[in-house]
Amino acid sequence: MAEVIRMPKMSDTMEEGVIATWLKKEGEEVSSGDVLAEVETDKATMELESYNDGILLHIGIKEKQSVPVDGVIAIIGEKGEDISALIGELKNEMVEEEIQEESNATVEEPTKASELMPMDTSGINASIVTMPKMSDTMTEGVISAWLKKVGDKIESGDILAEVETDKATMELESYEDGILLYTAVETGKGVPVDGVIAVIGEEGVDFQPLLEKAPKTDVIPKSPAPKAEAKPAAVEAPASVAQLTPTSATIPSTNGRIKASPLAKKLASEKGIDIKTVTGSGDGGRIVKKDVENFDPSSVSSESGSPIPAVLPAVVGEERSDEVAVSQMRKTIAKRLSSSKFNAPHFYLTMEINMDKAIEARKSMNEVSPVKLSFNDMILKATAAAIRQNPDVNVSWEDDRMMKHQHIHIGVAMAIPDGLVVPVIRFADNKSLAHISAEVKAYGQKAKEKKLQLEDFTGNTFTISNLGMFGIEEFTAIINSPDSCIMAVGGIQETVIVKNGEMKPGNVMKVTLSCDHRAVDGAVGAAFLQTFKGLLEDPVRILI
């Protein structure tokens, strides 16, 4: 009888897996214990083992595709077995799940469908003008001045109004020809991005159906800040630029601001034309698109006594951004750290440690140690000893209860190309420096080869993140759930130390303890750091 192979939950945080490589093909014989495929999880690349004997009759997921936990991966059965009915049932199961998800979404947000309905403008020769998003941070705009009034004839490129945004006062250009039939916002009032500003269309057309179907937005009163202070700021910058470049007598400007539509300015820039040399034909001498298109540089008179400003050479370049595929590990790191940062109230304690004796002790110990000891190994051993003396930092906050751990399992943050892994040194307080050093090195190699197993990176009660080897002097780290503390370790810096009123050269290291204030108080964290500092400044004590 055919058996369905589903995506197993290979780690406590896993939600989906990616089929990195299929090691078996459809039609091949499979025995219990055979590896069907390699699966990339949020932790590592792991092997998917078969627990059935038979023939691989169906593969449901291609390589590099992801499937959620419990999702169908393959079917194993007897040779020649008809599985068409089973495949049909599985497809129906997937369809029912999708329908259920859509149904839930409809129940939760019944108004979304109507909001996303496209506006039907058939038979109505008019268009709604909405507030454009004029800057990346803009959420609303204030109509500081209308340059057209209801009943005026509008051509594409004409400026309808001046809009005050969060960045500057900018011009609202029309992209339609017709009559300005309606203005929805009075001067001095604000409107959200995509809110209705005006209607342009044929004279006499009934545009009310357009307004009824348009999204309803509230008009926002302008802030009471005096316009006399804000307005000059919008014109000072162009005025100062105008002083740097000789201007032609034909420049249409107001208080130093060149009167030209944004479209005209953009077109002039693309053609390498100095906008100041173009004569405007719009209202009040405003330069519009057709003025730039019809501009002849040779027609500019040199008799005015003002030389034509030199045009800066165009900068050749290409704007480009590449989408990077996010690995399962990176997705989980983002999710877990975001959850930790925003759910756990962090506070930070920083302490400076004199490392002179630790440097001497490491040099002496490496002369007899079977493995080369690093400062990180000494930090791990000192941390374990300090936790044993200050057990209140060895806790986890779970919902509305706190777990106080009697065992000391220290997670060691390690960077790998795909992200970050935290293998765990178990019972670190009971291990020698040489034992810790060998274990950390073994974990580092397994992490690079993506061979860490589930038990290698679970069960931590305290975490250390060391960036000292990268030249970082000091930093703060986000707590690695479910721990309540993580210690960020900086590099050893040679500096001047004042002792007994005398300045002497010395070596110091800064550490910062991040604490979850729900479980660890400031005094508890400070006591731990005091003990840790004492152990490293007199390292013979960590061997006891």
Of 453, 455, 458, the C-alpha closest to 482 is 458
- Beta strand 414-416 with 395-398 is unpaired
By three-state DSSP, how is residue 375 classified? helix
The first and second tokens of residue 281, run together, are 């034909």
Active-site choice (82, 120, 521, 538): 521
Nearest to 434 by CA among 357, 377, 375: 377
Q: Residue 229 has which token pair? A: 């202070």
Strands 462-466 and 485-499 turn out to be parallel
Burial letters 442-464, b for 16+ CB under 10 A, else e: ebeebbeebebeeebbbebbbbb
User: What angle, 0 to 180 degrees and rounded to 10, lies between the N-to-C axes of helices 375-389 and 522-537?
Assistant: 130
State yes or no: is 194 an active-site residue. no
Q: Please list, in sequence order, all residues whose beta carbon lies within 8 angstroms of the beta carbon of residue 343, skipping any fewer than 6 positions away.
A: none
SS3 398: strand
How would DSSP label each residue in 215-277?
Answer: PP-PPEEPPSS-HHHHHHHHHHHHHHHHHHS---TT--EETTEE-B-HHHHHHHHHHT--GGG
Say which residues have a Cβ less than 8 Å from residue 241's Cβ, sequence separation at least 6: none
Active site residue 521: yes
Q: Return the C-alpha torsion angle 112, 113, 115, 120, nearest 10.
A: 180
**And the tokens for 227?**
């316009």
Tokens in use for 13?
Answer: 């945080």
Q: Which of 542, 180, 143, 155 lies closest to 382, judged by CA?
A: 542
Query: DSSP assignment, residue 180?
Result: E
Pairing of strands 410-412, 462-466: parallel
**Could you give the CA distance from residue 347 to residue 391 in angstroms, rounded to a whole number?**
19
Q: How far apart are alpha carbons 48 and 492 in whole angstroms?
A: 44
Residue keyed to tokens 């986000």: 478
DSSP state of 481: T
User: Of the residues 53, 283, 435, 517, which is catalytic?
Assistant: 517
Query: Is residue 469 within 8 Å of residue 437, measured between CB atoms?
Result: no
| Whole-number Å distance between alpha carbons of 532 and 486 | 14
Q: Where in the sequence numbering do the catalytic residues fall?
A: 517, 521
